[in-house]
Amino acid sequence: MASQKISSFLSRTLVSSSIRSLSQHGRTSHCRRVVSRYSTAAATEDPITPPVSVKYTQLLIGGKFVDSASGKKFKTYDPRTGNVIAEVAEGDAEDINRAVAAARKAFDEGPWPKMTAYERSKILFKFADLLEQHTDEIAALETWDNGKPYEQAAKAELPMCVRLMRYYAGWADKIHGLTVPADGPYQMQTLHEPIGVAGQIIPWNFPILMFVWKVAPALACGNTIVLKSAEQTPLTAIYAAKLLQEAGLPDGVINVVSGYGPTAGGALASHMDVDKLAFTGSTVTGKLVLEMASKSNLKPVTLELGGKSPFIVCKDADIDKAVELAHFALFFNQGQCCCAGSRTYVHESIYDEFVEKAKARAMKRVVGDPFRKDIEQGPQIDSEQFEKVMQYIRSGIESGAKLETGGEKLGSKGYYIQPTVFSNVNEDMLIAQDEIFGPVQSILKFKDIQEVARRANNTHYGLAAGVFTQDIDTANYLARALKVGTVWVNCYDVFDAAIPFGGYKMSGQGREKGIYCLMNYLQVKSVVTPLKDPAWL
């Protein structure tokens, strides 16, 4: 995919295909019998057999696949059914110790830091090629483990991984310090050195994308890594790490430990020999790992956390486009996006029309087996998230919001939820305050721009925002007034390798992607040397 924009992929692929798919599904009597309003046939049929097998289930430490020290394993589940996909080695503190020792050895002694930056970049480019060649297999594992539509994984997320990998591979031999003018006869320079052993903890909602967002800049800067994947989705990180080895990454440079947060994740965050920690996950856990990092060796920490992002539709917006993008901003990835546009603010003059259209769009959403072609929405990741989302739906109803559509479980198996839309939502309601992380759209009404900016900012989060208007002054006003890391104007979820991403307030610390991320993985050393009889200063 040339543009790397999920939204443009979606408008070209899923939105148009959903219309085709709707008519196909409409022909199945099964669909009509189970749910009349949604195109949900696949959610009620037998699951499609995934076109992939699980090859790797062990930990990768020091270049070798190994069992966990305890011999323990944990199960990873298919969200379509709740059935077990595979048993995976369960790493804990002892495995983290082994992995950190391997990463330390590879950093201090191994060939990696002694290679030229150009040699390192060639390995990273090779890895990008391998990711591209293995797109189908990785996307299938991702869909199986996570429940996201296969077409989304294969046509949007894997190409984004490849692009981001190439972006940082290109940086590897362009990272350097400065020669600085001095107030005297001194040569003053800065060296940009790799920081050392990077600990990285990733979540389950975009497992392979988060893997690449984390490892690409760290490796481009010459670091070694211990990465802990999310316990819900361990499969693609191990697979990708194997490809990194195949690309020529020396043993011990990437170590992957599957396991649970409090055990493996906690051991990594509090390890005395980890030089930097990068974490993506919930704000609650972000606070914990920050505390662990400070109580151990004061390792620097970057955090990519949760959000409750406003999507603001002004009175002059192109309503149909805004409805479509507001729908996408919320429902994409089953609503399981840190930057989901989960507070849809609509100007009072177009509110009723917008709600009607948003409801109609949600009712057309194609929900079902994510391996089926043209599916827009698969199941939620697991029973815990499913229950949490259902509780928020109940809370929305109880607090007086108007349930326009959805609100119920879909099908008898797995964790499918009807695309749900609430109108008449106000800020006192939990559904307008908490990160629901599910397919639940909350539509609020506003009167003027200053008021909506104030209300949009009235949250502990500050990850992203969408602004829909045809007035450049309104766009500029909101872009500057909103306290968030990304403002998308008349678009949403446009992720480019070069544009940074991260949060204000309790949505995080630091930025990932782009040039901004490199400094997370570098130490700056100042070197001062006297000059004897310099020709110039």
Ligand X SMILES: NC(=O)c1ccc[n+]([C@@H]2O[C@H](COP(=O)([O-])OP(=O)(O)OC[C@H]3O[C@@H](n4cnc5c(N)ncnc54)[C@H](O)[C@@H]3O)[C@@H](O)[C@H]2O)c1
Which residues are designated catalytic?
304
The number of C-alpha atoms within 13 Å of 454 and in the hemisphere containing its C-beta is: 6
3 state DSSP class of 486: strand
**Considering the rule CB under 6 A, would residue 261 count as an interface residue with ligand X?**
yes
**Considering the rule CB under 6 A, would residue 439 count as an interface residue with ligand X?**
no
Q: What minimum distance in Å lies between the beta carbon of 358 and ligand X?
A: 22
Q: Which CB sits closer to ligand X, 79 or 368?
A: 79
Q: Which CB sits closer to ligand X, 411 or 438?
A: 438
**Considering the rule CB under 6 A, would residue 508 count as an interface residue with ligand X?**
yes
Q: What minimum distance in Å lies between the beta carbon of 410 and ligand X?
A: 22
Among 59, 106, 249, 269, binds ligand X (CB under 6 A): 269
Among 17, 135, 200, 205, binds ligand X (CB under 6 A): 205
**Considering the rule CB under 6 A, would residue 282 count as an interface residue with ligand X?**
yes
Q: Which CB sits closer to ligand X, 437 or 488?
A: 437
Q: Which CB sits closer to ligand X, 172 or 293?
A: 293
Q: CA-CA distance, 319 to 324, in Å (whole number)?
A: 9
Q: Which CB sits closer to ligand X, 6 or 41?
A: 6
Pairing assessment for the beta strands 343-347 and 416-417 based on DSSP bridges = unpaired
Query: Nearest 5°: phi and psi at 296?
Result: -95, -100
Binding mask 206-245 for ligand X (x = CB under 6 A): x---------------------x-xx--------------
Determine contact, residues 456/345, Cβ cutoff 8 Å: yes
Q: Which CB sits closer to ligand X, 121 or 342?
A: 342
Q: What minimum distance in Å lies between the beta carbon of 262 and ligand X?
A: 4
Question: Closest Cα to residue 220, out of 524, 517, 526?
Answer: 517
**Considering the rule CB under 6 A, would residue 146 count as an interface residue with ligand X?**
no
End-to-end CA distance of the chain: 50
| Residues within window 283-302 making contact with ligand X, judged by CB under 6 A | 285, 288-289
Q: What minimum distance in Å lies between the beta carbon of 290 and ligand X?
A: 10
Q: What minimum distance in Å lies between the beta carbon of 389 and ligand X?
A: 12
∠ CA(301), CA(207), CA(7), 5° rounding?
100
Q: How big is the site for ligand X, counted in residues (CB under 6 A)?
A: 31
Place of tokens 């191990």: 238
**Considering the rule CB under 6 A, would residue 341 count as an interface residue with ligand X?**
no
Cβ neighbours of 515 (radius 10 Å):
15
Q: How many residues does the chain have?
A: 537
Cβ neighbours of 45 (radius 10 Å):
17
Q: Which amino acid is at 44?
A: T
Applying CB under 6 A, which part among 275-283, 393-401, 414-422, 488-496 lies near ligand X? 275-283
Cα distances (Å, whole numbers) of residue 496 to 6, 7, 163: 10, 11, 9
| Residues within window 478-507 making contact with ligand X, judged by CB under 6 A | 503
Q: What minimum distance in Å lies between the beta carbon of 511 and ligand X?
A: 10
**Considering the rule CB under 6 A, would residue 198 count as an interface residue with ligand X?**
no
Q: Which CB sits closer to ligand X, 217 or 508?
A: 508
Question: Closest Cα to residue 419, out of 359, 469, 354, 502?
Answer: 359
Q: Which CB sits closer to ligand X, 380 or 474?
A: 380
**Considering the rule CB under 6 A, would residue 462 count as an interface residue with ligand X?**
no
Among 153, 305, 444, 465, binds ligand X (CB under 6 A): 305
DSSP 177-236: --EE--SSSEEEEEEEEE-SEEEEE--SSSHHHHHHHHHHHHHHTT-EEEEE--TT--HH
| Residues within window 380-409 making contact with ligand X, judged by CB under 6 A | none
295-300 own/partner pairs: CB under 8 Å, 24+ apart: 295/270, 296/269, 296/270, 296/271, 296/272, 297/271, 297/272, 297/273, 299/199, 299/274, 299/275, 300/195, 300/276, 300/520
Q: What minimum distance in Å lies between the beta carbon of 337 and ligand X?
A: 7
User: If DSSP states are collapsed to H, E and C, what string results for 118-162?
Assistant: HHHHHHHHHHHHHHHHCHHHHHHHHHHHHCCCHHHHHHHHHHHHH
- The answer to whether the Cα torsion of 171, 177, 181, 186 is positive or negative is negative
**Considering the rule CB under 6 A, would residue 435 count as an interface residue with ligand X?**
yes
Q: What minimum distance in Å lies between the beta carbon of 72 and ligand X?
A: 15
List contacts with ligand X (CB under 6 A): 201-206, 228, 230-231, 260-262, 265-266, 269, 280-282, 285, 288-289, 304-307, 338, 435, 437, 463, 503, 508
